[in-house]
């Protein structure tokens, strides 16, 4: 399975469990989790001036990536995310 990097900006830490459950339901696996801590945003995003940053390395089948993106786009508690495919 290809490896991906997922960086999340969340205002509510409780939403992490829902995102982890979503990845598990798509038969994905989180290899590494990092919390980068809370930071002040350069400009307000969705009326938020600060956010908690999280960075994950995950394995997920390429066929399930579009479903993951669709679900993340509809998540109201998620401020922003960046999903990148890692090349070797």
**pLDDT tens-digit map of 29-87:** 999 999 999 999 999 998 999 999 999 999 999 899 999 999 999 998 999 999 999 98
Residue 12 pLDDT = 84
pLDDT confidence band for 5 (50 / 70 / 90): very high
Residue 82 pLDDT = 96
8 DSSP β-pair partners: 54, 81
Angle (nearest 5°) at CA 45 between 51 and 34: 30
pLDDT beyond 80 at 1: no
Alpha-carbon torsion angle 14, 19, 24, 25, nearest 10? 110
Domain boundaries, the chain: 3-85
Per DSSP (E only), the strands in the chain are 3-10, 29-45, 48-59, 78-85
Q: Give me the CATH topology for the region 3-85.
A: Alpha-Beta Plaits (3.30.70)
């Amino acid at each position: 399975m290809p490896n991906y990097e997922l960086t999340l900006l969340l205002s509510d830490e409780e939403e992490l469990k829902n995102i982890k459950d979503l990845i598990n339901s798509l038969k994905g696996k989180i290899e590494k989790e990092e919390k980068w801590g809370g930071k002040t945003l350069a400009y307000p995003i969705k009326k938020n001036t600060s956010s908690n940053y999280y960075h994950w390395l995950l394995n997920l089948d390429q066929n399930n990536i579009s479903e993951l993106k669709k679900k993340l786009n509809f998540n109201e508690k998620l401020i922003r995310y960046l999903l990148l495919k890692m090349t070797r």
